[in-house]
Amino acid sequence: MSQKVSCEVLDRLTKLFEGTESPTALAKTPTWNATPFTVLISTVLSQRNRDEITYAASERLFKKYPTPETLVDADLDDVNDIISNVNFHFNKAKAIKEISRILCEDYNSEVPKDINELVKLPMVGRKTANCLLGYAYRIDSICVDTHVHRISNRIGIVDSKTPEETEMQLQTAVPRDRWLEINDLFVRFGQEICTPQRPKHQICPLKDLCREFRNESE
């Protein structure tokens, strides 16, 4: 798929959601200071969790431990109790304490801006790293979650087997200055219209551009 068509996809989704808020969006504005550190830790907490669960855990955690310096010295059991509503909370408690230690000792308490450095951190894969780069630093990046991977392949923007392949192909298929739009638009589109099992073709604004719809219609 050409960059022109990919841009048309993004333009249509932007128009579709313009002026509206996702029903799954967090109901409240975060009460904590949005720093690269809090963005990174909340993204780790968000893995396999709903937004509202992540929000509640992040709010409690950052009220007490808002920086790597405070979190590195925190009692593990206390951190585990604070985030106990998230899935895999004990493993995440250990991971975010270790992340804090590494940041303090190796990066002068700063979150690196290099994806190759970020993925060395516990529980930080390319998806989490790209989310951090995009949302905390506004660095051009593509965060490929299950929605982005599924929708990009369904439409035909990419033809890939893994999220990493999807990321690399999207980097070619979409102009760099539009990379940061992909995750927000595709996640909402995947939640509301292009759902995993029964995509709502009858209200889809991308039918004429979609490879899967064309194949099903033949």
Q: Which residue has the tokens 């408690």?
A: 93
Residue 28 confidence (pLDDT) above 70:
no
Mean pLDDT of the chain: 93
pTM confidence score: 0.89
Question: pLDDT band for position 122 (50/70/90)?
Answer: very high
pLDDT per position as a tens digit, 62-99: 999 999 999 999 999 999 999 999 999 999 999 999 99
Determine contact, residues 48/145, Cβ cutoff 8 Å. no
Determine contact, residues 127/47, Cβ cutoff 8 Å. no
Q: What is the pLDDT of residue 20?
A: 77
124, 93, 103: which is closest to 37 by C-alpha? 103
Q: Which residue has the tokens 């990493």?
A: 164
Residue 113 confidence (pLDDT) above 70:
yes
Q: Report how far apart, in Å, the C-alpha atoms of 113 and of each of 30, 98, 140, 216 are.
A: 23, 18, 11, 43
Question: pLDDT band for position 26 (50/70/90)?
Answer: very low
Architecture of domain 3-22+141-217: Orthogonal Bundle (1.10)
Domain extents for the chain? Answer: 3-22+141-217, 36-137
To 10 degrees, what angle do helices 51-64 and 36-46 make?
A: 140
Q: Which two tokens stand for residue 160?
A: 């890939």
What is the homologous superfamily of the domain 36-137 according to CATH? Hypothetical protein; domain 2 (1.10.340.30)
